[in-house]
Amino acid sequence: MEDLAKTYFFEGITDRERAIFEGAITLAAIRHQFVGVPICKDGKIVKTLEAAIKKTMLLQPFKKDVIVKIDYDLIKGEKKHPYDYESLKARHMDIRVIVQYGRANAILRMRYVPELDFNLMYVEKAEEVSST
Amino acid sequence: MEDLAKTYFFEGITDRERAIFEGAITLAAIRHQFVGVPICKDGKIVKTLEAAIKKTMLLQPFKKDVIVKIDYDLIKGEKKHPYDYESLKARHMDIRVIVQYGRANAILRMRYVPELDFNLMYVEKAEEVSST
Amino acid sequence: MEDLAKTYFFEGITDRERAIFEGAITLAAIRHQFVGVPICKDGKIVKTLEAAIKKTMLLQPFKKDVIVKIDYDLIKGEKKHPYDYESLKARHMDIRVIVQYGRANAILRMRYVPELDFNLMYVEKAEEVSST
Amino acid sequence: MEDLAKTYFFEGITDRERAIFEGAITLAAIRHQFVGVPICKDGKIVKTLEAAIKKTMLLQPFKKDVIVKIDYDLIKGEKKHPYDYESLKARHMDIRVIVQYGRANAILRMRYVPELDFNLMYVEKAEEVSST
């Protein structure tokens, strides 16, 4: 698909940089949009939320795939009483965003990293396929 | 289900007041949580998002039903190019939250009201069934 | 100020119910809007965020006051390295929303309740001043 | 400041790519976190919100500056009645995020682009200072 926005980017941006840029936007969008949603240890609810995050976020430009895993072993509630649920936290999620832009592709990830005690976003892989 | 939180509320709150309170929380939660999600004129994506909002928000206390309609006639994008989508707005939604608390039930609603040019939240109905 | 929205509410809603309704909306709006904002143990940053929450949320209808306390003893980061900060959580906040509607006023509150292990929203007080 | 997270990124990522990555995260975080906040044509409220966005988002790693302009000519409400305000939209904002990472720096931007009818995020500039 044609990139109507290309002229707004600085000249000299590489395809790999652009792929990283587009993936980072989606990672941060997921984190800041969905943290706070009510959630509990119910597979059907969790699956529906994962599907909604995936399908809506795939709309953002140049996404090839968005893989969202909510680890419900970490979630407390089983809805035995009205207050037995909790809110989605970044810590509950392991997300991979796969981007293709021009000749480049990139895998971006967010997951909780115990060593840093931080929900880290990082670039797992980025490559530009050389034209031959 | 037993209301573990009852003692934190002021003495003398009626069941009808409590039902209104619980419904208002869910209306505002939906509005401030989900506005901004990427969306386009694609029935499958819209249905998945509606289902995720409904199922997660039903976890909040004393909800009997949560009815979420996203009017996709109002949505612009058909995803013909990478930037052909938009963000969910309060204006796109018509929401009903149905609450039952004790002997009371209430219907709370949010929808765009053209006369006010405002996405209004209001109490459509609230009643307390008299014990006999 | 005149209530342009009054006609949309069911007939027979009391001023006290309306005050509770308006307060509940603001409590839930604060929770679902601001949870996730980056934060650290820095008084100036915390004060600025508290002020922004207060001033913007006072715009919602019939608010007399919005009191936001972020307990930064609970916040980890002191920004000694790039990842030394955290995200605002409901647990960090103690919020009071004070509403006046017609002859009624109400105090709504959200705070972490250890006994429930829950960030509870509740109605602390509501009263209708009798006309004489 | 030392980059504790460096080992999680793929080997071979350039400083310029990392600067772009970190900036993109903050742009998207601002958009998905703050869209929906109540706002009106009141300079003091707008300034306080701009300051809160700036100060909290500067906490994210490797930010040199975050410049947030909310164009309140675009905002409708002047608070003449209880419903005379609106919600912050991406369209109201012009944001620049300035990042420094290693030998690279980058300027990332989000603004409404009329030609695309889209609130575009893009990389305005990125450069790596060559060591000599």
Distance from CA of A81 to the nearest CA of D (A): 30
Greater pLDDT, B81 or B77: B81
pLDDT above 90 for A39: yes
Give the number of other CB atoms < 10 A from CB of residue A32. Answer: 25
Take residue A131 and report the two structure tokens written for it: 């034209």
Query: Beta strand A86-87 with A38-39: parallel, antiparallel or unpaired?
Result: antiparallel
pLDDT in tens, C19-36: 999 999 999 999 999 999
DSSP code of residue C34: H
Quick one: what percent of chain C has pLDDT higher than 90?
Answer: 90
What is the longest distance spanned by two Cα atoms in chain A?
A: 63
Return the pLDDT at A72.
84
Quick one: what percent of chain D has pLDDT higher than 90?
Answer: 90
Determine the residue of chain C that is closest to A35 in CA distance: C36
pLDDT in tens, A4-29: 999 999 999 999 999 999 999 999 99
Q: Which residues of A66-79 are buried (b: 16+ CB within 10 A; e: fewer)?
A: bebebebeebebee
Compute φ and ψ for B104, nearest 5 degrees.
Answer: -110, 150
Closest CA to B60 of B37, B30, B90: B30
Distance CA C128, CA C101 (A): 9
**Site of tokens 């590489």:** A14
Which residues from B are below 8 Å from A36, CB to CB?
Answer: 33
Interface residue ranges in chain A relative to chain C, Cβ cutoff 8 Å: 31-32, 35-36, 76, 83, 87, 89-90, 116-118, 120
- Kindly report the average pLDDT of chain C as a whole number: 95
Take residue B103 and report the two structure tokens written for it: 């002997």
The residues with which B119 forms a beta bridge, in sequence order, are: B112
Return the pLDDT at C98.
98
A62: exposed, middle or buried (Cβ count in 10 Å: 0-12, 13-18, 19+): buried
pLDDT band at D132 (very low <50, low <70, confident <90, very high): low
pLDDT band at C1 (very low <50, low <70, confident <90, very high): low
pLDDT in tens, D88-104: 999 999 999 999 999 99
DSSP code of residue A8: G
Distance CA C75, CA C43 (A): 11
Take residue C104 and report the two structure tokens written for it: 């009624």
Distance CA B42, CA B31 (A): 21
Take residue B116 and report the two structure tokens written for it: 């006010």
CA distances for A85 relative to A46, B5, B32, C24, C38, angstroms: 12, 14, 19, 19, 24
pLDDT above 90 for D62: yes
Interface residue ranges in chain B relative to chain D, Cβ cutoff 8 Å: 31-32, 35-36, 76, 83, 87, 90, 116-118, 120
- Do A55 and B37 count as a contact with CB atoms less than 8 A apart? no
Return the pLDDT at D78.
82
Distance CA A128, CA B60 (A): 47
Q: How far is CA D130 from the centre of its chain?
A: 27
DSSP code of residue D36: T
pLDDT above 90 for A77: no
**Site of tokens 């037993």:** B2
Helices (H) then strands (E): counts for chain B: 2, 6
pLDDT in tens, B16-36: 999 999 999 999 999 999 999
Return the pLDDT at B1.
62
Sheet holding C93-101, edge to edge: C63-70, C93-101, C104-113, C118-128
- Name which of A1, A48, A83 is nearest B81 (Cβ-Cβ): A1
Return the pLDDT at C72.
84
H or E element at residue B109: strand B104-113
Distance CA A45, CA D84 (A): 37
Distance CA B103, CA A92 (A): 37
Return the pLDDT at A130.
78
Query: What are chain C's partners, defined as 3 or more CB pairs within 8 angstroms?
Result: A, B, D
Sheet holding B104-113, edge to edge: B63-70, B93-101, B104-113, B118-128
Take residue B70 and report the two structure tokens written for it: 């996203």
pLDDT in tens, C39-54: 999 999 999 999 999 9
CA distances for C71 relative to C41, C89, C96, D65, angstroms: 9, 10, 14, 26
pLDDT band at D69 (very low <50, low <70, confident <90, very high): very high
Query: Beta strand D104-113 with B118-128: parallel, antiparallel or unpaired?
Result: unpaired
DSSP for B28-57, written as a single string: HHHHHHHTT-EE-S-HHHHHHHHHHHHHHH
Q: Taken in order C100, C101, C105, C109, is the CA torsion positive or negative?
A: negative
User: ipTM value of the model?
Assistant: 0.95
CB A107 within 8 A of CB A97: yes
Can you list the alpha helix ranges (DSSP code H) found in B42-123?
43-57
Q: Is A87 helix (H, G, I), strand (E, B) or coil?
A: strand
Distance from CA of D24 to the nearest CA of A (A): 5
pLDDT above 70 for B132: no
- Do A13 and D126 count as a contact with CB atoms less than 8 A apart? yes
